[in-house]
Protein backbone atom coordinates (compact mmCIF):
# COMPACT_ATOMS: atom_id res chain seq x y z
CA UNK A 1 0.00 0.00 0.00
CA UNK A 2 2.89 2.34 0.74
CA UNK A 3 4.25 1.75 -2.77
CA UNK A 4 0.95 2.90 -4.27
CA UNK A 5 0.94 6.05 -2.12
CA UNK A 6 4.51 6.88 -3.10
CA UNK A 7 3.71 6.24 -6.76
CA UNK A 8 0.65 8.48 -6.59
CA UNK A 9 2.63 11.26 -4.89
CA UNK A 10 5.39 11.00 -7.50
CA UNK A 11 2.87 11.15 -10.35
CA UNK A 12 1.17 14.15 -8.74
CA UNK A 13 4.45 16.03 -8.38
CA UNK A 14 5.55 15.17 -11.93
CA UNK A 15 2.24 16.35 -13.41
CA UNK A 16 2.29 19.53 -11.36
CA UNK A 17 5.89 20.29 -12.38
CA UNK A 18 5.51 19.59 -16.10
CA UNK A 19 1.93 20.58 -16.89
CA UNK A 20 1.32 23.06 -14.05
CA UNK A 21 -1.94 21.29 -13.25
CA UNK A 22 -3.15 21.17 -9.62
CA UNK A 23 -4.18 17.50 -9.98
CA UNK A 24 -3.53 14.42 -12.10
CA UNK A 25 -6.06 14.79 -14.85
CA UNK A 26 -6.75 13.04 -18.10
CA UNK A 27 -8.79 14.05 -21.08
CA UNK A 28 -12.11 12.23 -21.49
CA UNK A 29 -11.92 9.01 -23.47
CA UNK A 30 -10.85 5.38 -23.29
CA UNK A 31 -7.25 6.00 -24.37
CA UNK A 32 -6.56 8.52 -21.63
CA UNK A 33 -8.38 6.41 -19.06
CA UNK A 34 -6.20 3.41 -20.01
CA UNK A 35 -3.04 5.52 -19.76
CA UNK A 36 -4.11 6.69 -16.33
CA UNK A 37 -5.40 3.37 -14.94
CA UNK A 38 -3.22 0.63 -16.47
CA UNK A 39 0.18 1.38 -14.86
CA UNK A 40 -1.08 0.95 -11.27
CA UNK A 41 -3.07 -2.14 -12.28
CA UNK A 42 -0.02 -3.66 -13.99
CA UNK A 43 2.14 -2.83 -10.96
CA UNK A 44 -0.36 -4.51 -8.61
CA UNK A 45 -0.64 -7.60 -10.81
CA UNK A 46 3.12 -7.94 -11.24
CA UNK A 47 3.93 -7.40 -7.56
CA UNK A 48 1.22 -9.81 -6.37
CA UNK A 49 2.42 -12.44 -8.85
CA UNK A 50 6.02 -12.01 -7.73
CA UNK A 51 5.10 -12.14 -4.04
CA UNK A 52 3.04 -15.31 -4.62
CA UNK A 53 5.86 -16.99 -6.53
CA UNK A 54 8.48 -16.11 -3.90
CA UNK A 55 6.16 -17.27 -1.11
CA UNK A 56 5.48 -20.60 -2.83
CA UNK A 57 9.20 -21.13 -3.44
CA UNK A 58 10.05 -20.30 0.19
CA UNK A 59 7.37 -22.64 1.55
CA UNK A 60 8.47 -25.48 -0.75
CA UNK A 61 12.11 -24.97 0.21
CA UNK A 62 11.24 -24.88 3.91
CA UNK A 63 9.23 -28.09 3.62
CA UNK A 64 12.06 -29.76 1.65
CA UNK A 65 14.73 -28.73 4.16
CA UNK A 66 12.78 -29.54 7.31
CA UNK A 67 10.83 -32.55 6.07
CA UNK A 68 7.80 -30.91 7.67
CA UNK A 69 4.75 -33.05 6.91
CA UNK A 70 2.26 -30.51 8.21
CA UNK A 71 1.15 -28.58 11.23
CA UNK A 72 -0.02 -30.40 14.35
CA UNK A 73 -3.56 -29.15 13.67
CA UNK A 74 -3.49 -30.62 10.13
CA UNK A 75 -2.22 -33.95 11.47
CA UNK A 76 -4.93 -34.00 14.15
CA UNK A 77 -7.58 -33.17 11.53
CA UNK A 78 -6.39 -36.01 9.32
CA UNK A 79 -6.50 -38.42 12.25
CA UNK A 80 -10.04 -37.33 13.16
CA UNK A 81 -11.21 -37.79 9.57
CA UNK A 82 -9.62 -41.26 9.46
CA UNK A 83 -11.34 -42.21 12.74
CA UNK A 84 -14.67 -40.99 11.33
CA UNK A 85 -14.17 -43.17 8.26
CA UNK A 86 -13.23 -46.09 10.53
CA UNK A 87 -16.50 -45.64 12.43
CA UNK A 88 -18.59 -45.42 9.25
CA UNK A 89 -16.88 -48.11 7.13
CA UNK A 90 -14.63 -50.25 9.33
CA UNK A 91 -14.07 -53.16 6.95
CA UNK A 92 -12.90 -51.14 3.94
CA UNK A 93 -10.93 -48.72 6.12
CA UNK A 94 -8.99 -51.52 7.83
CA UNK A 95 -8.41 -53.30 4.50
CA UNK A 96 -7.04 -50.09 3.02
CA UNK A 97 -4.89 -49.52 6.10
CA UNK A 98 -3.43 -53.03 5.87
CA UNK A 99 -2.67 -52.54 2.16
CA UNK A 100 -1.07 -49.17 2.88
CA UNK A 101 1.01 -50.70 5.70
CA UNK A 102 2.20 -53.56 3.50
CA UNK A 103 3.11 -51.13 0.73
CA UNK A 104 4.87 -48.78 3.15
CA UNK A 105 6.90 -51.62 4.66
CA UNK A 106 8.31 -52.55 1.29
CA UNK A 107 5.69 -55.13 0.40
CA UNK A 108 3.25 -55.03 -2.48
CA UNK A 109 -0.35 -53.93 -2.01
CA UNK A 110 -2.93 -56.70 -2.34
Q: What is the domain range of residue 79?
A: 70-110
How large is the average pLDDT for residues 75-97? Answer: 90
Helix, strand, coil shares, percent, the chain, to 5: 80, 0, 20
**pLDDT cut 90: percent of the chain above it:** 19
Mean pLDDT of 10-39: 74
Grade residue 104 by pLDDT with cuts at 50, 70 and 90. low
Residue 8 sits in the same domain as residue 47: yes
Number of domains in the chain: 2
pLDDT interval class at 24 (50, 70, 90): low
Same domain, 33 and 78: no
Which among 30, 37, 31 has a CA at the least distance from the CA of 4? 37
Q: What is the pLDDT of residues 33-78, one digit of tens each?
A: 788 888 888 888 889 999 999 999 888 887 777 766 677 888 888 8
Q: How many angstroms separate the CA atoms of 107 and 57, rounded?
A: 34
Q: Could you tell me if 32 and 51 lie in one domain?
A: yes
Q: Are residues 61 and 85 in the same domain?
A: no
So what's the pLDDT on residue 85?
92
Report field, pTM of the whole predicted structure over 0.75: no
15 near 21, Cβ under 8 Å? Answer: yes
Q: How far apart are CA 24 and CA 19, in angstroms?
A: 10
Element (H, E) at 61: helix 30-66
Amino acid sequence: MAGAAVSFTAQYRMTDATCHLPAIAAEPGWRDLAIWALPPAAYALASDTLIGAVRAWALARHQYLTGDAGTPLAILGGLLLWLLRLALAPASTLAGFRAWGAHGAGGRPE
